[in-house]
Amino acid sequence: MTNLTEIAFFAAGAVAVIATVLAITRPVAVHALLYLIVSLLAVAVVFYTMGAPLVAALEVIIYAGAIVVLFVFVVMMLNLGVRTQETERKWLAGRAWIGPVILSALLLAEVIYLIVRAPVSAAMNSISTPKQIGLALFGPYLLGVELASMLLLGALVGACHLGRTSKSGREARQ
């Protein structure tokens, strides 16, 4: 790795750690999801700086795209009723977006700088087979893949806990 790539790697790693801690500690599910998305995008940047653009793209498409969208739909479904509309407006106020926007802007600046300035390595230009991708995911990138899956497991457990209602809660809704 060159100095530029190392700086980008550590900066993306720092963003991932900060966003993950904020995703875990936010009491509002929507805010936690925003930080979860930033965390997953930061992990994708880490994979890209390590010379694995395909794994980075899969991280964005599968984790940050499909799975987080599922969590957003779950959160939307949990907020049933007219009373919660005002609460949702407060959740989506401009102040809630400051942290995710700052961290995302840092990641975007890193990616643009890496694409424009950093030389593309020969490993990035090679076409990968599914076997090579599997070997990479369960070889040198195993720790990153497992960390991302553990983060998603924590988010899933939190969503299940939030979605659980007592009998009296179900009766009140009907």
Per-domain residue ranges of the chain: 3-173
Q: Compute the C-alpha angle 40/85/155, nearest 5°.
A: 25
Provide the residue count of the chain: 174
pTM over 0.75: no
Least Cα distance to 39 among 23, 28, 27, 62 occurs for 23
Percent of the chain predicted with pLDDT > 90: 1
Report whether 49 contacts 42 (CB < 8 A): no
Give 52 or 78, the one with higher predicted confidence. 52
Q: Are 151 and 67 in contact (CB under 8 A)?
A: no
124 pLDDT tier (thresholds 50, 70, 90) = low
Q: What is the CATH number of domain 3-173?
A: 1.20.120
Q: With H, G, I as helix, E, B as strand and everything else as coil, classify residue 1.
A: coil
